[in-house]
Structure 1
Amino acid sequence: MEFRPILSAMLRNKTAPLLIAAQVALTLAIVCNALYIIRDRLATASRPSGADEANVSEIRFYPHRAISDVRGMQLRDIESIRAVPGVVAAAWTNQVPLGRSGWSVGPVVVSPDQQTSPVTNAGQYFTPESIIDTFGLTLVDGRDFQPGDYIESDPAQDRNQASVVIVTRTMAERLWPGEASVLGKPVYLGGPDNPPVEVIGVVDRLQTPWANLGEAAEYSLILPVRYLDPFTRYSVRTEPGRHEQVMAEVEKVLLANSSDRVLLGRRTLAEARDQRYAGERMMAGLLIAVTVFLLLITASGIVGMASLWVNQRRKQIGVRRAIGARRADILRYFLLENLMITTAGIAAGIALAVGLNNFLVSTMDLPRLPVFYLGVTTVAMWVLGLLAVLGPAWRAAAVPPAIATRTA
């Protein structure tokens, strides 16, 4: 089967092929970028936080009148929490991973002469206990805090600064690229004008409360600070499978400890993840629906147009059958015709997809579209086009030669 006769026939009636090619181009451009955004959003939403999310909960209280002894309240609360059966570890913390609100510090520099830093903002965790034990983090280098490392800071009276810090692996690699170990390195939190603190440990992962896009989500540090704030947030790790029972008891004993505060709420880190990434999942769902809808519309358009061509050329098909064309020849004709139209649409669609991706890169901070997605979408459009035209082409091949002897 030669391309020239098919192309000549299409050029005599350009409207229908052009419409199909345009539909294929638009579908490819949108579907290709939609699939990439879906993958990017779902991959972002599934990033591990570093914590034992299913078994770690936060419980928060707010004072409705002044707390006279904040330190004593924190110590009593922690002792009461740890006495609850099923509690593995507990700590006062100023924030939790994926919590969507918290403390940050920046820039983080490694030299008194350094004015700029690749880490412009880092999540800043405070605790007077072991966050590593409480969150279930993995310590990959160095040590956890020891009793002599902890300091107290009263926001109403002072701004005491810890002398040691634990950082994440990603943050260490960003600040000291190529270093085998960063233990003992000085780091300046908030710029070179502040006193340095010494890195004594590195954890594998600890996401920020905001779970930023890219590697910035792993820019976190831990300081051994008892922050004397009457607003109270405790992080509690429970035995697997006992979360609801244990946390209900923890809530009960904490409310019994003091009547000067109200419960703001409690949730697991898994629930915090669901809340943090609700928007990403909703966007992915909408894009999946749009992708399926576009593919169905494109397929139905090809089927409808091919069926129309078959009806318009029934006499032509019958004549060809009468002079010796086989069913396979007729079938091949329509399939090749569709392949040519689809290929033209794919060529235009690839250019349109790249242009759309450039726009999304500049507006949504997405990485460049990998060639793999263009290849997959191209194959999908070819297969979709061939499957969509197969039914009408099969009906065309079944037209009997006798049709050629009939009058219009």
Structure 2
Amino acid sequence: MEPDVSGTSPAECVAIIVAAGRGTRAGGSLPKQYQSLAGEPVLRRTLRLFASHPAVTAVLAVIHNDDSGLFADTARDLPKILAPATGGATRQASVRAGLEALAARGMAPAIVLVHDAARPHASPDLVARAIAAARHAAAAIPVLPVTDTVKRLDASGVVAETLDRARLRTVQTPQAFRFDALRAAHGAAAAAGVDTLTDDAAVMEWAGHLVATFDGEAGNVKLTTPEDMARAAGAPLSALQDVRTGTGFDVHAFGPGDHVMLGGVAVPHGFGLVGHSDADVGLHALTDAILGALCDGDIGAHFPPSDPQWKGASSDRFLAHAVEKVAARGGRIAHLDLTLICEAPKVGPQREAIRASIAAITGLGVDRISVKATTTEKLGFTGRREGIAALASATIRLPLEDA
């Protein structure tokens, strides 16, 4: 049985960002991690996610030896960023280089997260889920259900078998591990000449460890091709002339608990919120606002509360789904505005964290996200401190052909 590190302090978690690849399939004159996405390098968006996360103490990027100048410019002024390590010829070698660099600096965190530089849209909640999973397992990875039918082909290209997709999952990062176990597994694999494993979970499997899973995010895509880069960047707003606005409203009652989820941030409170999912009123209202602008139903139509798979689900998945619906129509979100209505907890101290969380989920710049809070002057159910309400609006822009 793997040791339980449930008492792990947040100060004992370091993120390794794998950024040593050349990314030639993405095209362009720069490696994809340094190409611009919504006005800033892909890698900077990824670094900022982990550097701003309260449970991550330090961030180590593993880069190509030729990219030191690019990295210095990309990481400028971000907190918690360590001097980068130099990567190897393969992803496996690069991660091992990062682990050994931490050890050489006298750092032996209880938990290490390994994340692809080219996944800039992971959310703070996904990072939190990764850390929570690693507190109870030597290895834990984010996964998504496979929705397409999968066939196995024989050598001639003829279908040999239809696989049971109910047991299949696609795998993402950040992957979470006990530092000592992952370092030992990488060392053993290198000593044995095993150097073709494609992710760190495979290294741990090879070394005999069990690998746990936790829920991934549909929006946490890896940018690989020019089409991926273009889809992530979106068309210029000026080219999207069909401007639409949608509104969303949500309410959840207080119940037992010690925190509430607001905009993807766990806010300490004497109560929790009651709901089929994690009851994040802010993300629910924003999701409905975007779906409303698309004229595409509401959150209940896409994620029915009668469906047990959404029991306790993290609401960032709902918002990411709505964002993907906009992108699938060739559009972009121009602005999000969220008002939280409650007597308590106080939203002001959490405002910037909530804005940053929504930015990470949606891929928007923080300057396009507004978060406000108000009370009802002690009137009504929010005034009696029975629950929280949220009102949201979303402005989206679509190609005129969609009009």
> TM bucket by the smaller chain?
under 0.3
Between structure 1 and structure 2, the one with the greater Rg is: 1
Whose helix proportion is higher, 1 or 2? 1
TM-score by length of 2: 0.19
TM-score by length of 1: 0.19
Structure having greater relative contact order (Cα 8 Å, sep ≥ 6): 1
